[in-house]
Amino acid sequence: MAPNISRVCVVVLLCYSSFVAIASGEAPKSDTDLLEFPLNLEYLEAEFFLIGALGYGLDVVAPNLTGGGPSPVGARLANLDNLVRDIITQFAYQEVGHLRAIKSTVRGFPRPLLNLSTTSFADIMNNAFGRPLNPPFNPYVNSINYLLASYVIPYVGLTGYVGANPQLQNATSKKLVAGLLGVESGQDAVLRSLLYERKDQVVRPYRVTVAEFTNRISALRNKLGNAGVKDEGLVVPREQGAEGKVTGNILAGDNESLAFGRTPEEILRIVYGTGDEHVPGGFYPKGASGSIATYYLK
| Domains within the chain, CATH numbers bracketed | 29-297 (1.20.1260)
Residue positions counted in the chain: 298
pLDDT on residue 154? 87
Handedness of CA 233, 254, 155, 226 (dihedral sign): negative
pLDDT on residue 85? 98
Do 118 and 140 touch, CB atoms closer than 8 A?
yes
What's the predicted TM-score (pTM) here? 0.91
Distance of alpha carbon 292 from alpha carbon 298, whole angstroms: 11
pLDDT on residue 24? 44
Q: In this predicted model, what pLDDT tens digit does every residue of 133-183 receive, in sequence order?
A: 999 999 999 999 999 999 998 899 999 999 999 999 999 999 999 999 999
Over the chain, what is the mean pLDDT?
Answer: 92
pLDDT on residue 244? 97
* Residues forming beta bridges with residue 208, ordered by sequence position: 203
pLDDT on residue 2? 47
Do 177 and 185 touch, CB atoms closer than 8 A?
no
pLDDT on residue 107? 95
pLDDT on residue 22? 40
Nearest 5 degrees, angle CA 102-CA 105-CA 50? Answer: 20
The CA-atom distances, in angstroms, between 169 and each of 18, 35, 97, 117, 177 are 10, 12, 23, 38, 12
The CA-atom distances, in angstroms, between 148 and each of 83, 140, 216, 238, 250 are 15, 10, 11, 23, 14
pLDDT on residue 199? 98
pLDDT on residue 201? 98
Do 277 and 269 touch, CB atoms closer than 8 A?
yes
Ranges in the chain, pLDDT < 50: 1-3, 5-24
pLDDT on residue 27? 66
